[in-house]
Amino acid sequence: MGGNNFNEQEEIFSQVLRAGRRTYFFDVRATKADDYYLTVTESKKFTHDDGSFNYKKHKIYLYKEDFTEFNEMLKAATDYILNEKGEEVISERHQSDYVKEENTAEESVVSPEKFTDISFEDI
């Protein structure tokens, strides 16, 4: 199996959530045994005083055997936050006039080729 063939096969499905300076990538990938797992990557853009910028990323890997418990805990934690604090953003670090852009379903599914112009620093 050549390198290009593996890369084409590795990333199966991708979705992107843009949230201010952060972008979240939800990527379904294939293992060498051709089983699937999920990576969730947070990418945050940092702009320097000279106008140059770089991206920092944090990635988690989720495997099928953990999906049920992960989903339950994520739902419990997000429900707790919304029940305790509501949906209004009250952090001073957020823009008070920020309006979330609505994406259509077609816009949220992005092929891996569209990510080639973004370079991330390996952590």
pTM of the predicted protein model: 0.62
**In the predicted structure, residue 114 carries a pLDDT above the cut 60:** no
Higher pLDDT pick, 34 / 104: 34
3-state secondary structure the chain: CCHHHHHHHHEEEEEEEEECCEEEEEEEEECCCCCEEEEEEEEEEEECCCCCEEEEEEEEEEEHHHHHHHHHHHHHHHHHHHHHHCCCCCCCCCCCCCCCCCCCHHHHECCHHHHCCCCCCCC
Q: Which CATH code for domain 3-115?
A: 3.10.450.700
**In the predicted structure, residue 121 carries a pLDDT above the cut 70:** no
Bridge partners (DSSP) listed for residue 37: 29, 63
Domain boundaries, the chain: 3-115
